[in-house]
Amino acid sequence: MQVLSVASECAPLVKTGGLADVTGALPGALKGGGVRMRTLLPGYAAVMPALQDPVAVEHFDDLFGGPATLFEAHAKGLDLLVIDAPHLYGRPGNPYSGPDGRDWPDNPERFAALSWVGAHVAAHGAGGWRPQVLHGHDWQAGFMTEYLRGFGAGDVRTVLTIHNIAFTGATDRTRIDALRLDPWRFHPEGYEFYGAVSALKAGLMGADALTTVSPSYAEELMTPEFGMGLDGVMRRRQGVLTGILNGIDDAMWNPATDPAIIRYDDPADKRHAKAALQTELGLPQAAGPLCVIVSRMTHQKGLDLVLETLPDLLAQGGQLAVLGSGDPGLEEAFRQAARDPNVAVRIGYDEAFSHRLIAGGDAILVPSRFEPCGLTQMYGLRYGTVPVVALTGGLADTVIPASPAALAQGVATGIQFAPVTAGALRSALARLGTLYRDPDTWSRLQRNAMAQPVGWSRSAQAYADLYATLTHRG
């Protein structure tokens, strides 16, 4: 089975969030299931130097405003197709914005080009290789179904995975010609979205199959609260929608082998990682749990609720260590919070430090208002760092709450709270403190967490089965 994955980011080459972790891990996870996946990526400044033995397989005289070359290459264990188009991707900053944090104004064209090349490869092949399935991720790959329709490649099956429906890739209708779209498709059955052009809407309407990154999020998307104006589309297409829970790279995230931490395979030895983290951050010894956060600082992530309930955590002897960046107001608020000797904050992102943070924490807080899947709670499970999560999306699907019944049966792995309010989080933190002060219960909770399967094997098989069904091989 030959599959082309079309993505705007892919770890470890380029990453801003969980999307990159998924697109980076899925190709390797699928190999055992008889699927060969290549990943199509933009040739960002960070990507081009990492390519091993690149071979030019296609040239485009005018790819949305300038010439471009498509390279076949390998890097970091991935089989890649990379679009070298300096006029689109040879820029400072991250994949979506410049050093000033502002989105590039030509993002619609930049990612339309990604979708267009993906559809071109699916229709015509590249370097003698042609996929049977075109698998796009989020709005950046949404137009691939429109372009594939134009190329007339009806034998290629398409899958679109929704990692976060909040980002629709919407732009003004005056860009229709610049985006090489069929103007007759600007209607509710095509890519029209409340009078605008939407790449995500195009993919949702056009793909043969839709997936999202957890079963609960698939259900949530069909409600006005979570559907972001697309809930009607999701209800209409629910017959082709599947929620496939993400996994994590459980070889990279393994406390017994992790080179970034003081290693352990038993929760009893986790105290060494905690002590090392407290020393690194200048935190004193404390009677309560050390809670950690690794997150983008946005309203979605519910970090304002953490700030509101922080006095309650500190009052019970707890501590907080945070790694993240995003909203300037939240960044400043956490800097101010770090004036307390039991609070440590680092603004930015550091992969190795995130491993030390999760290994050294007693609990990891994920109070998201919505969370399609979430990966940090799974990293927490893997490291015996008890997740405290909102009851939403993939958080609900991956954490077994420490109810009296679950504790009695020996299956609890964390704490869930609902609704997503400061009052509910405050109660969850009080519950955390109670469990932490009972050493036997706390140890069982940690062991249960570490025993929870969080790898890719089940999810990869679900994707392989989906591809086989689409191509009538299963």
- CATH number 3.60.20.10 given to 2-247+457-470: no
pLDDT tens column, 37-78: 999 999 999 999 999 999 999 999 999 999 999 999 999 999
Block residue for tokens 């989080």: 425
Report the percent of the chain where pLDDT is more than 70. Answer: 100
Pairing of strands 209-212, 241-243: parallel
Q: Is 270 annotated as a binding residue?
A: no
- pLDDT tens digits, the chain, 474 residues: what are they? 999 999 999 999 999 888 998 999 999 999 988 999 999 999 999 999 999 999 999 999 999 999 999 999 999 999 999 999 999 999 998 999 999 889 999 999 999 999 999 999 999 999 999 999 999 999 999 999 999 999 998 899 999 999 999 999 999 999 999 999 999 999 999 999 999 999 999 999 999 999 999 999 999 999 999 999 999 999 999 999 999 999 998 988 999 999 999 999 999 999 999 999 999 999 999 999 999 999 999 999 999 999 999 999 999 999 999 999 999 999 999 999 999 999 999 999 899 999 999 999 999 999 999 999 999 999 999 999 999 999 999 999 999 999 999 999 999 999 999 999 999 999 999 999 999 999 999 999 999 999 999 999 999 999 999 999 999 854
- CATH number 1.10.10.10 given to 267-451: no
pLDDT tens column, 390-399: 999 999 999 9
Q: How far is residue 459's CA from residue 245's CA, in Å, rounded to a whole number?
A: 6
Block residue for tokens 């405050």: 426
Q: How far is residue 322's CA from residue 330's CA, in Å, rounded to a whole number?
A: 12
pLDDT score for 473: 53
Domain boundaries, the chain: 2-247+457-470, 267-451
Same CATH fold, 267-451 and 2-247+457-470? Answer: yes
